[in-house]
Structure 1
Amino acid sequence: MIKEFCAENFTDLPKAIAAGASRIELCDNLAVGGTTPSLGVIEEAMAYASEKHVPIMTMIRPRGGNFVYNDLELKIIENDLIHAKNAGVDGIVFGCLTAENEVDEEAVEMILGNSSGLQTTFHMAFDELSHEEQLKTIDWFVQLGIDRILTHGGPATQTIDECLPYLKELVNYADGRIIILPGGGINANNIDKITEFLGVKEAHGTKIVTF
């Protein structure tokens, strides 16, 4: 079981790894859902985690708020991605939408064009899509070679238990073609029950391990 710990900066990273986190999503500003951490944080996290053989997935998101980015923000995303890649991160976490609540295809293709050799996770921007659009997006992401989709399976106002039936639908639809990574309300106490119900081998959360 891969327990992906969502780390805000470096502070809790050593404790989380010691407690059994097997992958780290590194970000800043969790209060707004996570933004790109500083290059200094990325470098120190990589230096520590690589010694422990724990991969680092770095959030690439220029600000809080919605996931609709203008040209300048996309340029920032591109530059941050390149810096993170040069720092040696194992992967990136990203998400870009259009004003019509569809995936921003041009932005995704730009990001993937700069992330060769990295693992790629499309984050909970996925939860903003309609159910029909989500299924189309899974098919397209499979074609693109994106590794996984981080999803709560519903709006943040719903508990993870309420979202489990739909998450199961997504897992079944993906059918092993792409990883569905459940998150949002998963903790050290309920991870076993949730992952067994969903039939998944990865889970994500800020409380996925206890320390």
Structure 2
Amino acid sequence: MIIRELCLENFTKVPQALQAGIERIELCDNLAVGGTTPSYGVIQEAAEYVVESKTTLAVMIHPRGGNFVYNSHELKIIETDTLKAVEAGAQNIVFGALTTDNKIDSDALETVSIAAQGLPITFHMAFDEITDQKEAIDQLVEFGIDKILMHGGPLDQPLDTDKIKSLIDYAQGKINIIIGGGVNAENFEELAQLTGTNYVHGTKIINL
């Protein structure tokens, strides 16, 4: 079975998504800058709406647009936002942080892992900027991260199915890989088959 994760901006289309039978929702704000943390009220309303459904609610933690290198002030914001997302009813947390040399920011990830209080965490497309991705997979597995969202390269290029397939083979099922970026209702089945994943992600993963 392919798990479809629909990326939604705010609450507006949550009812339609549930009616369409979507398996996962990634809730965020400001898609124009790649997605930022939604408000407490939005998370709470979405969480209450999905609670009796089979849909999983994942919440993006990203304090601003731009890169994924955070200073100490931003990390405090991220920690508080994660705690509040859990309090509001998030079922999964979506987060990614890098060092200035494009490696995983272990300190930031540890902060979020603690704040998430045991909820599954997806490391988002910041992963595509990492140089040694096999080493990064090993690190994320060790951290207990549940999933990685990746495109395989720059978003202005097609999904790199060969690269993603090789990383999925390397991961050996220790961590789930979600494919995103140009993945939609028309092509997700073919792309899932080419890469070997059961998880697909996008703003148009279903037709609303």
* TM-score normalised according to structure 2 size: 0.97
Kindly indicate whether the alpha-carbon contact (under 8 Å) linking 1:32 and 1:65 is maintained by their aligned counterparts in 2: yes
| Pairing 1:197–2:194 present | yes
**For 2:52 and 2:206, how far apart are their aligned partners in 1?**
20
State yes or no: 1:150 paired with 2:126: no
1:41 aligns with 42
Secondary structure of 1:57's match?
A: strand
Matched, 1:187 2:188: no
Number of matched pairs: 207
Which amino acid counterpart does residue 138 of structure 2 have in structure 1? D
Say yes or no: does 1:164 pair with 2:161.
yes
Superposed displacement of residue 20, structure 1 = 2.7
Query: What amino acid sits opposite 2:18 in the alignment?
Result: I
Q: 1:11 is matched by which residue type in structure 2?
A: T
| Bigger Cα displacement from structure 2, 118-127 vs 195-204 | 195-204
Amino acid at match of 1:192: E
Which residues of structure 1 form unaligned runs of 5+? none
Give me the CA root mean square deviation: 0.9
CA offsets per residue over residues 45-97 of structure 1, 9 Å max, x none? 01111122311100001000011111000000000000011112101000111
Partner SS state of residue 173, structure 2: coil
Q: State the identity %.
A: 52
Return the offset for 1:30.
Answer: 0.4
Rounded Cα–Cα distance in structure 2 between residues aligned with 1:124 and 1:176: 19
- Contact persistence 2:130–2:136 (CA under 8 A): no
Cα separation, 2, equivalents of 1:54 and 1:76: 28
Letter in 1 for 2:31: L
Structure 1 residue ranges, 4+ long, deviating more than 6 angstroms after superposition: none
Q: Find the counterpart in structure 1 of residue 77 from structure 2.
A: 76
**In 2, Cα distance between the equivalents of 1:48 and 1:3?**
18
Show the counterpart of 2:108.
107
Residue-by-residue CA offset, 1:9-48 (whole Å, 9 max, x unaligned): 0111111222231100000000111000000100110111
Deviations 1:107-151 (A, max 9, x none): 111111111220100000001111xx2110100111111000000
Letter of the structure 2 residue corresponding to residue 168 of structure 1: K
Letter in 2 for 1:144: F
Distance in 1 between residues matched to 2:189 and 2:101, nearest whole Å: 37
For 1:207, the equivalent position in structure 2 comes to 204
Q: Could you tell me how far apart the structure 2 residues matched to 1:142 and 1:129 are?
A: 15
Is the 1:20–1:209 Cα contact (8 Å) retained in structure 2? no
Distance 1:154 1:93 in 2: 19
- The answer (yes or no) to whether the contact 1:16–1:210 under 8 Å persists in 2 is no
- Give the 3-state SS of the residue equivalent to 2:51 in structure 1: helix
